[in-house]
Amino acid sequence: MAALRALDLRIFGIFLLPSLLFVGVVFVYPVLKILLISVTDPQPGLGNYMLLVENPALRRVFITTIRIAVLTTLISTLIGYLLAYRMHVAKAGELRIIIFCLMFPLWTSVLVRAFAWVALLQNNGIVNAALLGLGAIDQPLPMSRNELGVLIGMVHVMVPYATLPIYSAMKGIDPRLMQAARSLGAGAWPTFWRIFMPLTLPGVGAGMILVFITSIGFYVTPIVLGGGKVVMVAEYISVQITETLRWGLGSMLATVLLAVVLLFVFAFRRLTVLRQGAA
């Protein structure tokens, strides 16, 4: 038995080794290289990291990135939950239409969508023209070249990524649980709040993590819809690497972003484990 177990381990190691080598070459080594550059360029030490505290402009860029990413995550998750619930209760024909409308933007370039939002949101765009025509506003609303425009564009991109994990979680819920709750006298809202919604939280968590990780590294949409007035970390890193050649500063920002993402994932995972333990 011990010989068979040792043989199984060797076979497992043989098949696992190529995957480990691949991950090490394309992921672990570049991350370690970036970390090394962040503490050695232009000189050894933590000077680049101190800039994040001492430089107001750099700190403002980082705070703006976190704020927009968090707002995008919350809004996308809320919209995604509503869409997923509608998909969950929809009939087959309506479900196909919703899925098509949800997936169609994913087949379109992010750059094309960003410029489409510019046309819609600018002062003489379709949205302002419609609001002015309806008499809802007296003058055009500033919805482009600011954080609002960036947020709208990012939410539009991220809603499908929030919706699909939540819908998958909803589809896995046994409908007999809700029927049992209703048969025991629970109303529609208590049944939803105490039975249905808690069972969808794993999907909500997966959607939030996916949206936040993607949002914090957005590049094209903030450049186009921000119009140079809203600078996020990804754009700032690109400037440092390609124009000012401050590799250490760019590597530091990339490292901090990675740390923020890992912290977010760890914290959410910890909350999930604590919730399951309490249940």
pLDDT for 152: 93
Q: Quickly state the pLDDT bin for 9 (edges 50, 70, 90).
A: low
* pLDDT, averaged across the chain: 86
pLDDT for 78: 96
* Distance, CA of 23 to CA of 17 (rounded, Å): 10
SS3 per residue for 211-260: HHHHHCCCCHHHHHHHCCCCCCHHHHHHHHHHCCCCHHHHHHHHHHHHHH
pLDDT for 275: 57
Question: Percentage helix, strand, coil, to 5, in the chain?
Answer: 80, 0, 20
Helix (H, G, I), strand (E, B) or coil at 108: coil
* Distance, CA of 104 to CA of 53 (rounded, Å): 42
pLDDT for 160: 93
Across 53-62, 159-168, 260-269, which has the greatest mean pLDDT? 159-168
Structure tokens at 5: 């177990």
pLDDT for 180: 84
**Rg over CA atoms, the chain:** 24
* Distance, CA of 201 to CA of 106 (rounded, Å): 25
Q: Quickly state the pLDDT bin for 2 (edges 50, 70, 90).
A: low
pLDDT at 153 over 90: yes
- Could you report the per-residue pLDDT of 235-266, keeping only the tens digit for each? 999 888 888 888 998 999 989 988 888 888 88
Q: Which of 111, 45, 58 is nearest to 37 (CA)?
A: 45
Q: Quickly state the pLDDT bin for 168 (edges 50, 70, 90).
A: very high
Structure tokens at 21: 């080598």
* Distance, CA of 122 to CA of 141 (rounded, Å): 8
| Residue 77, CA atoms < 13 Å, CB-side half-sphere | 20
pLDDT for 70: 93
* Distance, CA of 231 to CA of 267 (rounded, Å): 27
- Could you report the per-residue pLDDT of 61-119, keeping only the tens digit for each? 989 999 999 999 999 999 999 999 999 989 888 999 999 988 888 888 888 888 899 88
- Could you report the per-residue pLDDT of 232-241, keeping only the tens digit for each? 999 999 888 8
Question: What H or E segment, with its residue span, contains residue 279?
Answer: none
pLDDT for 232: 92
pLDDT at 193 over 60: yes
Q: Quickly state the pLDDT bin for 277 (edges 50, 70, 90).
A: low
Share above pLDDT 90 across residues of the chain, in percent, rounded to a whole number: 27
| Mean per-residue pLDDT, 43-56 | 87
pLDDT at 3 over 60: no
User: 42: cis peptide before it, omega within 30°?
Assistant: yes
| Mean per-residue pLDDT, 214-238 | 89
Which segments of the chain are extended strands (E)? Answer: none
* Distance, CA of 192 to CA of 108 (rounded, Å): 35
| Residue 201, CA atoms < 13 Å, CB-side half-sphere | 14
pTM of the predicted model as reported, rounded to 2 decimal places:
0.87
Question: Across the chain, which distance is largest between two alpha carbons, in Å?
Answer: 82
pLDDT for 164: 93
Share above pLDDT 70 across residues of the chain, in percent, rounded to a whole number: 92
